[in-house]
Amino acid sequence: MAGRNFLFVPGPTNVPERVQRAMVVSMEDHRSTKFPELTHSVLTDLKAVFKTTTGTPIIFAATGTGGWEAALTNCLSPGDLVLASRFGQFSHLWIDMVTRLGFQVETVDCEWGEGVPVEKYAEILARDKGHTIKAVLATQNETATGVTSDIAAVRAALDACDHPALLMVDAVSSLGSIDFRMDEWGVDLCVSGSQKGLMLPAGLGIVCASQKALNAREKSTQPRCFFDFGDMIKANGTGYFPYTPALPMLYGLREALNMIKEEGLENILTRHTYLASGVRAAVFDGWGMKLCAKAPKWYSDTVSAILVPEGINGAHVIDVAFRRYNLSLGAGLSKVAGKLFRIGHLGDLNELMVLGALAGCEMAMLDVGVKIEPGSGVGAAQKYFREHDTIAKKKVARSEVVYASQSTGSNEGATAGAAAKV
Ligand X SMILES: *Cc1c(COP(=O)(O)O)cnc(C)c1O
Binding site for ligand X (CB under 6 A): 11, 63-65, 90, 139, 141, 143, 170, 172-173, 193, 202
- Residues 385 and 387: their CA atoms lie apart, in Å, by 5
Alpha helices in 326-410 (DSSP H): 351-367, 376-387, 391-394, 397-408
We find the least distance from the C-beta atom of residue 209 to ligand X, in angstroms, to be: 18
The smaller minimum CB distance to ligand X, of residues 204 and 312, is found at 204
Map residue 239 onto helix, strand or coil. Answer: coil
- Residues 254 and 46: their CA atoms lie apart, in Å, by 10
The smaller minimum CB distance to ligand X, of residues 149 and 382, is found at 149
Strand ranges for 289-355 from DSSP E: 290-291, 303-307, 327-331, 340-344
Which residue from 394, 407, 402 is spatially nearest to 420, judged by alpha carbons? Answer: 402
- Residues 34 and 375: their CA atoms lie apart, in Å, by 55
Cα-to-chain-centroid distance, residue 399: 33
Give the residue nearest to ligand X (CB).
64
The smaller minimum CB distance to ligand X, of residues 68 and 274, is found at 68
We find the least distance from the C-beta atom of residue 340 to ligand X, in angstroms, to be: 15
We find the least distance from the C-beta atom of residue 177 to ligand X, in angstroms, to be: 11
The smaller minimum CB distance to ligand X, of residues 42 and 138, is found at 138
Question: Pairing relation of β-strands 327-331 and 6-8?
Answer: parallel
We find the least distance from the C-beta atom of residue 140 to ligand X, in angstroms, to be: 8
The smaller minimum CB distance to ligand X, of residues 115 and 278, is found at 115
Give a three-class secondary structure readout of 178-240: CCCCCCCCCCCEEEEECCCCCCCCCCEEEEEECHHHHHHHHHCCCCCCCCCHHHHHHHHHCCC
Contact 289, 283 (CB under 8 A): yes
The smaller minimum CB distance to ligand X, of residues 201 and 338, is found at 201
Which residue from 61, 134, 66 is spatially nearest to 103, judged by alpha carbons? Answer: 134
We find the least distance from the C-beta atom of residue 248 to ligand X, in angstroms, to be: 17
The smaller minimum CB distance to ligand X, of residues 145 and 236, is found at 145
We find the least distance from the C-beta atom of residue 203 to ligand X, in angstroms, to be: 9
- Residues 363 and 316: their CA atoms lie apart, in Å, by 12
We find the least distance from the C-beta atom of residue 196 to ligand X, in angstroms, to be: 6
